[in-house]
Amino acid sequence: MSSVLEELPKQAIEEEQQKFTILEHLEEMRQRLIKTVIGVAITTIVSFIFTRQLLVILKQPAGDIMFITTGPTEGFSTYFKVAFYSGLALATPVILYQAIMFLTPGLTKHERRYIKYLLPGALFCFVLGVVFAYYVALPPALRFLIPFIQEIATPQIKIGEYISFVMTLIFGIGAVFETPIVIFFLAKLHIVNYKMLSKNRKYALLGAFVVAAVITPTPDPVTQSIVAIPLLLLYEAGIWLARIA
């Protein structure tokens, strides 16, 4: 009976310590989120200065198409949307850094060594994906979609819808281009290995087209294939990196 009474205070102390640890993690998460939001807000404000030039750049893949607005607020909302997405892109180092710093305490000393390679690698893959989306994926997608029924209807494209399509495609492809570096990091942590990834190629094929369907705001197979095929190649690159890891 006395041993049971002695055990009760120990359990209470352990429960209190566990609660305190959870509260510490929640507080740290809150601090990281606040810093991330502040970083995005600052980069968005900076982006406002260059938003007009960015709009011209984003319009170039559409060629000579004249865009229209159908409401008094559409021009401003589009302008703000470009500034926000640009700010989000500029704040990518801050976002990744805060996420990594939040995860670092849960890693071993051996695992923390790989963090310093993850941040520059993730940034490089994201920028590579953005470049691929703008120069490779976007032009053929627009050439296929815009004149699809041009002999029946004259295209009158709203600037807001066009910008939403372009930014979704660019950011989506930028995100999926980080697949190899994520696989490499997971392999280093012994969560996945190249044999497991090789056996699941059929699921990767299905997953690539599901992700492409989510990223591309249109149901056409051409645009989805433009996204899915590079994603499959990135998966294969991830298998190669997992073998090295």
pLDDT digits (tens, 9 = 90+) for 82-101: 999 999 888 888 888 888 77
CB 33 within 8 A of CB 95: no
CB 88 within 8 A of CB 46: no
Token readout for 208 is: 């690539």
pLDDT for 37 equals: 92
pLDDT for 2 equals: 47
State what percent of residues in the chain have pLDDT above 70: 83
Question: pLDDT of 49-60, one tens digit each?
Answer: 999 999 989 988
Give the CA distances from residue 212 to residues 16, 32, 105, 142, 225, in Å, rounded to whole numbers and listed in that order.
Answer: 46, 30, 34, 16, 7
Question: pLDDT of 146-159, one tens digit each?
Answer: 776 666 767 778 88
Amino acid at 198: S
